[in-house]
Amino acid sequence: MIELINLCRTYRMGSEDVHALNEVTLQIDQGEHIAVVGPSGSGKSTLLNILGCLDRPTSGSYRFSGREVADIGEVELSLLRQRWIGFVFQFFHLLPRLDAVGNVEVPMIFSGVGREERRQRAQRALESVGLKHRFKHRPEELSGGERQRVAIARSVVMSPRLLLADEPTGNLDRHSAEEIMELIERMNAEGLTLIVVTHDPTVAKRAGRIIRLEDGRVAEGGADVRPQI
């Protein structure tokens, strides 16, 4: 489903070029569970942003479902994110003014889903993450684990094919982290491709494949050195 070939992402910091990603070649299949690990500054987040079409590579190729992302225009790219890709963040990024249902409704507002359908789908999504009793709660009234579950409900409510999680358990206690991982792994088992960026070795170990980045290069787990399962 995802194919990166010699992908580079270069930032300009003052007079120096920083290679956040350097000649990355990767292949990820539909339904995989992948952990991306590596020290801080190794390019994990940059990789995730490029995979999520929030950022564009400086050079190299990124194919999503067979299409070259560089050729996709701004408007269609938004639609791609809307329909195909879900995001989960370390800091949840819920809108504090909206209750749980309202937060889950947000992506549907921008894709033009009707009001009644929005509410039903949001409630169903919240039920599936075990928050049936928290529909009307605002983020400040929820625990960290519950907030992340709302965020997960929001990320999957559009039925994406790819879920990108950036340190999803980084801000949670061990117990909640366990629950969250179980939740997204269940979705992975139903066919959702899951890519988790993490520092946490126990989280990484749960993945089917670990991609280790070092200095913007794939040190382990890339397509070329992929272990046969």
128 near another protein, rule: CB under 8 A: no
Residue 18 lies near another protein (rule: CB under 8 A): no
User: How far apart are CB 106 and another protein at their closest, in Å?
Assistant: 6
By beta-carbon proximity to another protein, the closer residue of 74 and 224 is: 74
Only segment of 27-35, 45-53, 194-202, 204-212 that touches another protein (CB under 8 A) = 45-53
Binders of another protein among 47-76, rule CB under 8 A? 49, 52, 54-55, 74-75
Contact with another protein (CB under 8 A) among 78, 199, 219, 226? 78
Q: Of 5 and 98, which CB lies nearer to another protein in the complex structure? A: 98
Beta-strand (E) ranges in the chain?
Answer: 2-13, 16-28, 33-37, 59-64, 67-68, 85-88, 162-166, 193-197, 209-214, 217-220
List the one residue from 58, 82, 144, 161 that touches another protein (CB under 8 A): 82
Residue 136 in contact with another protein, rule: CB under 8 A:
no
Three-state DSSP class for residue 13: strand
Residue 79 as a binder of another protein (CB under 8 A): the answer is: yes
Q: How far apart are CA 207 and CA 106, in angstroms?
A: 29
d(CA 35, CA 206): 8
Q: The tokens 């990320």 sit on which residue? A: 155
Residue 97 binds another protein (CB under 8 A)? yes
Exposure on the CB side of residue 183, measured as CA atoms within 13 A: 28
Reading the block at residue 205, the tokens are 């170990």
CB burial class (10 A; 0-12, 13-18, 19+) of residue 135?
Answer: middle
List own/partner pairs for 71-80 with CB under 8 A and 24 or more apart.
77/53, 80/53
By CB under 8 A, tell whether 111 contacts another protein: yes
Q: Give residues in contact with another protein (CB under 8 A).
A: 45, 49, 52, 54-55, 74-75, 78-83, 85, 87, 89, 91, 93, 95-98, 102, 106-107, 109-112, 114-115, 154, 158
